[in-house]
Amino acid sequence: MNTTIKDIAKLAGVAKSTVSRYLNGGHVSEQTKAKIRKVVEETKYEPNSFAQSLKAKKTNFIGVIAPTLDSYVTSTVLMAIDEELRKRDYTTLIISTSKHVDREIESLISLSRQKVDGIILIATGVTEKHIETINSIQIPVLIVAQEVGHVTCIINDDYQAGFKMGQYVAQKGHRAVAYIGVAESDIAVGQRRKQGIMEGLKSAGVSDVKTFVSQFDLQDAARVTQEVLEESSLTAIICATDTIAFGAMKTITKLGKKVPKDFSIAGFGGYNISGVIHPALTTIRFKNEETGVMAAETIIKLTNGEEVPNLQVSGFDFIEGESVKSVKS
Amino acid sequence: MNTTIKDIAKLAGVAKSTVSRYLNGGHVSEQTKAKIRKVVEETKYEPNSFAQSLKAKKTNFIGVIAPTLDSYVTSTVLMAIDEELRKRDYTTLIISTSKHVDREIESLISLSRQKVDGIILIATGVTEKHIETINSIQIPVLIVAQEVGHVTCIINDDYQAGFKMGQYVAQKGHRAVAYIGVAESDIAVGQRRKQGIMEGLKSAGVSDVKTFVSQFDLQDAARVTQEVLEESSLTAIICATDTIAFGAMKTITKLGKKVPKDFSIAGFGGYNISGVIHPALTTIRFKNEETGVMAAETIIKLTNGEEVPNLQVSGFDFIEGESVKSVKS
DNA sequence: TACAGAAATGGAACCGGTTCCGTTTCCGTT
DNA sequence: AACGGAAACGGAACCGGTTCCATTTCTGTA
């Protein structure tokens, strides 16, 4: 049987209210403190946090809903969130939905039953149903990685990142450029990033860009790349993610061509592994740690009813690898 | 304000005990059911699970302590655990320790205060202090990935996997083989796997193997590989993990040598990325999903006081890539 | 030395559920 | 019509804490 505050009180010969005060730093005489301390140590008493939050109306839990755990971006953000929340005495409750969108809704509801103080939703897409559920549970929700009206959001600066990359590739002298992107249902990557790239290229004089659409996985990217390579005279391929870039490199290598000699390749992500691949991939590393910290800070503010900006933008670094070469123009 | 069972009772004109019975499938007349149902729907009532578990003495939470979230192995196991636990109506509480061993101890205690029903510890090393803490909290604990006496454990079949790989490399005709391992404080990888490899090699006639020790990260592996290559006449390097293998490949490539032409390389892990690298890495893929499911099943049995074997072993697949070539003997 | 205000403490109510117990109502059986 | 058992339901206690309130005991100051 677990020891309770009542047991401690009895053993120390005081009222349980006194024990509670002792534990929470209220007014207790040194003498009494000593008695209680002794009993607490002997019994290895640990307060029941459920009972505590029942009265406190505050659980110090923050729920985080993630589409998956096995992606570099998600896990980095998750680690940063967890780290920051821990510092502030919150417990992170991570729920993975295995990319089932339905489960995001379910999780929102189940977390609300757990009475978490706030929820961070790392999103890949946000539907009407999401918004509806978010409004129906009366708990603050923060959306990460996608932008939605009337909900607090943190996003990557996909437009600027795209612009930077587009400009870079164009300035390297490439004129025949292809883009392998993802479905437009993904506002952040499918739309904003693409738009940035296009305008970045344009700003440096490249306006005719062939675009293709791939899934997020390597296999599909490798497949799509075959189509891409049918375009003649191409010198550079910009890929929406590093994984897609790896897929492209795989296909190119398989065809006996070389990066960057025959084709220049660029990606977005900055995974650790990018440095292993030879040649090192030129890419954009989003500041995932910054995003995580920001998310933790923001959700805490929200639970305290403080004002926070409706949209916050997290930065990025440009990583110059060896996968994009200069061409004479 | 949140609606409580008391509000529902008042609105429906019944006692709260009746509402509770309605919610839990007790005897309630159809007429009353209808009344309550109506109120519950209108108010979007969600029971407070803290209050429930306070009385029930069961939270249906399982805590999982992981050293990090951003490793392929950990996240795969985690996903599988989560998936399986959800199926059985448990909520997974994931805690990442960012590789701070102290925090594993802290987390064990903090989880015990949350009154989780059981704890799964994905371990990289288990100290006396761990054992002590595990014994002091009165909650079942399952250790994954390391073997410890008197505690229920699930491990990979590191010995057999190593044996298989050692045998394979030797049978490919390699006689001058080096091994890049990890510290022996890691029983599973540092000792068992190594032992398997050595005996596998020996079984096929190779008994003189130079061994080296690296950290788990790529950079250190790349550094260690430089030393390794100072050995003359080497034809194959077996690496304790895929990451180490990537580091080795990086160094080899940097020196203008080729895999597998100049050196054959093998790893352990079977990360998704292994297929991208050219040449594809010959490796062992441990059945992480199987491990996760097993872990979930086992911890549930433990919380129910059922008997479980003290040690369970999870299997692996041998993945033949292109990174180990045949040499004429 | 008297007295006000703070400190110390116990008792009881409360948080939001579940469950036990006892009473009333309903139904079927003889 | 009388009776017994099950169904239906309300009231109260309980889970393990926190907190309010009232009472007693110290303090320090006039």
In the predicted structure, residue B282 carries a pLDDT above the cut 70:
yes
Helix (H, G, I), strand (E, B) or coil at A320: coil
Question: If you ran DSSP here, which 8-state letter would residue A119 be given?
Answer: E
- Asked if the model's pLDDT at residue B329 lies above 60, the reply is no
Q: Are B298 and B118 in contact (CB under 8 A)?
A: no
Least CB–CB distance from B83: residue in A53, A93, A98:
A98
Residue B180 — left, alpha, or beta (φ > 0 → left; ψ -120 to 50 → alpha)?
A: beta
Sign of CA dihedral B170, B173, B175, B178: negative
Three-state DSSP state, A157: coil
When pLDDT is cut at 50, 70 and 90, the band that residue B72 belongs to is: confident
Q: Can you give the C-alpha Rg of chain A in angstroms?
A: 26
- Residues paired with A96 in a beta bridge: A66
The verdict on whether omega for the bond into residue B140 sits within 30 degrees of 0, i.e. cis, is: no
Residue A329: pLDDT above 60?
no
Q: Do B276 and A272 touch (CB under 8 A)?
A: no
SS3 assignment, position A236: strand
Q: Alpha-carbon distance A191 to A315, whole Å?
A: 18
Q: Which residue has the tokens 């949140």?
A: B2
Q: How far is A62 from chain B (nearest CA, A)?
A: 11
Q: Between the CA of B33 and the C1' of D11, what is the distance in angstroms?
A: 20
Show residues of chain B in contact with A278, CB under 8 Å: 250, 253
CATH of segment(s) A158-286:
3.40.50.2300
Paired with B79 in beta bridges are none
Report which secondary-structure segment, H or E, holds A113: helix A101-113
Residue in B with minimal Cα distance to A93:
B93
Min Cα distance B302 → chain A (Å) is 17
pLDDT at B276: 67
Q: CA–C1' distance A143–C16 (Å)?
A: 30
**Mean predicted confidence (pLDDT) in A190-217:** 94
Give the tens place of pLDDT for each residue, A290-303.
999 999 999 999 99
Shortest Cα–Cα distance, A277 to chain B (Å): 7
Q: What pLDDT score was predicted for residue A259?
A: 87
Average pLDDT over residues A267-291: 84
Of A266 and A27, the structure prediction assigns the larger pLDDT to A266
SS (H, E, C) chain B: CCCCHHHHHHHHCCCHHHHHHHHCCCCCCHHHHHHHHHHHHHHCCCCCHHHHHHHHCCCCEEEEEECCCCCHHHHHHHHHHHHHHHHCCCEEEEEECCCCHHHHHHHHHHHHHCCCCEEEEECCCCCHHHHHHHHHCCCCEEEECCCCCCCEEEEECHHHHHHHHHHHHHHCCCCCEEEEECCCCCHHHHHHHHHHHHHHHHHCCCCCEEEEECCCCHHHHHHHHHHHHCCCCCCEEEECCHHHHHHHHHHHHHCCCCCCCCCEEECCECCHHHHCCCCCCEEEEECHHHHHHHHHHHHHHHHCCCCCCCEEEECEEEECCCCCCCCCC
What mean pLDDT comes out for the span A66-72?
A: 88
pLDDT at A145: 93
> Can you tell me which residue has its alpha carbon closest to the C1' of nucleotide C18?
B55
When the pLDDT of each residue in chain B is averaged and rounded to a whole number, the result is: 92
What letter would DSSP give residue A282? B
Tokens of A241: 């993610």
Tokens (6 digits) for A288:
């995932």
Output phi, psi for A282, to 5 deg: -80, 125
Q: What is the mean pLDDT of residues B125-137?
A: 91
- Tell me what the mean pLDDT of segment B152-156 comes to: 96
Count other Cβ atoms within 10 Å, centred on residue A215. Answer: 15
State the span(s) of chain B assigned CATH 3.40.50.2300: 61-156+288-315, 158-286
Cα A93 off chain centre by: 15
Report the predicted TM-score, pTM, of the whole model to 2 decimal places.
0.88
Question: In the predicted model, what is the mean pLDDT of chain A?
Answer: 92
Contact call for residues A145 and A312 (beta carbons, < 8 A):
no
Helix (H, G, I), strand (E, B) or coil at A66: strand
Measured in angstroms, the CA of A41 and the nearest CA of chain B are apart by 12
Pairing status of strand A283-286 against strand A316-319: antiparallel
Contact A286, A316 (CB under 8 A): yes
| Contacts with A93 from chain B: Cβ below 8 Å | 91, 93-94
* Closest residue in chain A to residue B254, using alpha carbons only: A278
Distance in angstroms (rounded) separating the CA atoms of residues B196 and A121? 44
Structure tokens at A93: 């409750």
pLDDT tens figures, B172-224: 999 999 999 999 988 899 999 999 999 999 999 999 899 999 998 888 999 99
pLDDT given for residue A273 in this prediction: 66
CB contact under 8 A, B46 and A109: yes
Instruction: Using the predicted structure, report yes or no on whether residue A311 has a pLDDT greater than 80.
Output: yes
Q: In the predicted model, is pLDDT for residue A271 greater than 80?
A: no
Measure the CA–CA gap between B51 and B54, rounded to whole angstroms.
5
Question: Do residues B197 and B178 lie in contact, with contact meaning Cβ atoms separated by under 8 Å?
Answer: no
Q: Which nucleotides of C are covered by protein (CB under 7 A)?
A: 7-12, 14-20
> B142 or A328: whose pLDDT is higher?
B142
Region(s) of chain A under CATH 1.10.260.40 = 5-47
Test mutation, B59, B75, B100, chain A, max A CBs within 10 A: B75
Query: In the predicted model, is pLDDT for residue A58 greater than 90?
Result: no
Mutate which: A105, A254, A276, vs B, most B CBs within 10 A: A276
Q: Tell me the pLDDT tens digit for each residue of A133-150.
A: 999 888 999 999 999 989
Average pLDDT over residues A98-114: 89
What pLDDT does B222 receive?
93
Whether B326 contacts B140, CB under 8 Å: no
CB A63 within 8 A of CB A122: no
Q: Which CATH number fits domain A5-47: 1.10.260.40, 3.40.228.10, 1.25.40.10, 3.40.50.720?
A: 1.10.260.40
CA nearest to A303, candidates A78, A140, A135, A87: A140
Give the model's pLDDT for residue B275.
61
pLDDT of B134 above 60: yes
B50 with A115: Cβ contact below 8 A: yes
For the cut 70, the answer to whether the pLDDT of residue B156 exceeds it is: yes
Amino acid at residue number A210: K
CATH topology of domain B61-156+288-315: Rossmann fold (3.40.50)
Residue A77: HSE in the Cβ half-sphere, 13 Å Cα cutoff: 31
